[in-house]
Amino acid sequence: MSERKPYTTDLSDERWALIEPVITAWKAAHPSVSGHQGKYQMREIVNALLYQSRTGCQWSLLPHDLPPRSAVMYYYTAWRKDGTDQAIHDLLRFQVREKQGRLADPSLVVLDTQSVRAAVGVPATTTGRDAAKKVPGRKRGLATDVLGLVIAVVVAAASIHDNAIGNALLDRAVAATAPGSVRTALVDQGFKNTVVAHGATHGIAVKIVERNPAEAGFVPQPKRWVVEQTYGTMSLHRRLVRDYEHDPASSESRVYWAMTDAMTRRLTGTSTPTWRSV
């Protein structure tokens, strides 16, 4: 491929070096039947995914100097289905935590949900209406650590109650961490005793952080506020501002890629472009 002008979303050499070993190992484990090594560089495939994540463009509107949609979609789907996207994300999460002098897995997680509108064309069977927030679409659930790093993500119809999302998040947080590492979970008042009871089955003490009724407006709650910060970071990625994905699993994958972008920048000391610079 001839050299092209860079996009601000492109991986630097340092950021690519953090991802490349996993991609190279995946490529070696998935050789073409014909022995063909592939026409497009894996770095360019990832660049295309990050470009789409930040700009929110449709598959058919990927720039002509990036790999075509067929190639990018092939790898995006393959990595989503076999968990490579999460493997890359989790490896980076371990590195960020260790760089901050913490153990690879957290002892405390923070759970929260966010309802977002679904785009036209998203199957009605996978969407619903959040009765409390009056938002039609999907509900995103996150479990983060105290650094705001994602430990688990669940995407479902917005009509699904926070309790069901919370239970699923606890299950996935346990699966994504070393046995017994997560001991405490903080949740807001949208979660009920069902989540507390479910956490107990995993040996996790779920604590409902109640808001002070005397406080007006948005008041950050100690430790629990970090999940709100993570949602803010994700909003820089236009592909996540609205849910465009037909499959909720693809919506979850978008979260992993957005956080992968953020963590590679965090590990290399690279600033994240603002809305106006992309």
Show the 3-state SS of the chain: CCCCCCCCCCCCHHHHHHHHHHHHHHHHHCCCCCCCCCCCCHHHHHHHHHHHHHHCCCHHHCCCCCCCHHHHHHHHHHHHHHCHHHHHHHHHHHHHHHHCCCCCCCCEEEEEEEEEEECCCCCHHHCEEECCCCEEEEEEEEEECCCCCEEEEEEEECCCCHHHHHHHHHHHHHHCCCCCCCCEEEECCCCCHHHHHHHHHCCCEEEECCCCCCCCCCCCCCCCHHHHHHHHHHCCCHHHCCECCCCHHHHHHHHHHHHHHHHHHHHHCCCCCCHHHC
What average pLDDT score do residues 158-169 get? Answer: 97
Contact status, residue 72 vs residue 66, Cβ threshold 8 Å: yes
What average pLDDT score do residues 50-65 get? Answer: 96
Please, what are the domains in the chain? Answer: 105-243 (3.30.420.10)
Contact status, residue 53 vs residue 224, Cβ threshold 8 Å: no
Contact status, residue 133 vs residue 159, Cβ threshold 8 Å: no
Name the band, by pLDDT with cuts 50, 70 and 90, for residue 20. very high
The candidate with the shortest Cα–Cα distance to 41, out of 78, 16, 15, 14, is: 16
Instruction: Report pLDDT for 213.
Output: 60
Instruction: Report pLDDT for 3.
Output: 80
Name the band, by pLDDT with cuts 50, 70 and 90, for residue 1. very low
Return the minimum-mean-pLDDT range out of 37-51, 149-163, 255-269: 37-51
Per-residue CA distances from 53 to 73, 81, 115, 139, 251 (Å): 13, 18, 19, 19, 11
Residues making up the chain, counted from first to last: 278
**272 pLDDT exceeds 80?**
no
What average pLDDT score do residues 22-30 get? Answer: 95
Write down the mean pLDDT value for the chain: 92
| 212/29: higher pLDDT | 29
Contact status, residue 165 vs residue 141, Cβ threshold 8 Å: yes
Name the band, by pLDDT with cuts 50, 70 and 90, for residue 101. very high
Instruction: Report pLDDT for 218.
Output: 53
Instruction: Report pLDDT for 219.
Output: 53
What average pLDDT score do residues 165-184 get? Answer: 98
∠ CA 1-59-114, rounded to 5°: 130
Instruction: Report pLDDT for 166.
Output: 97
For the stretch 207-260, pLDDT in tens is 998 766 655 555 556 678 899 999 999 999 999 999 999 999 999 999 999 999
Instruction: Say how many C-beta atoms besides its own lie within 10 A of residue 74's C-beta.
Output: 15
Instruction: Retrieve residue 214's tokens.
Output: 């005397």
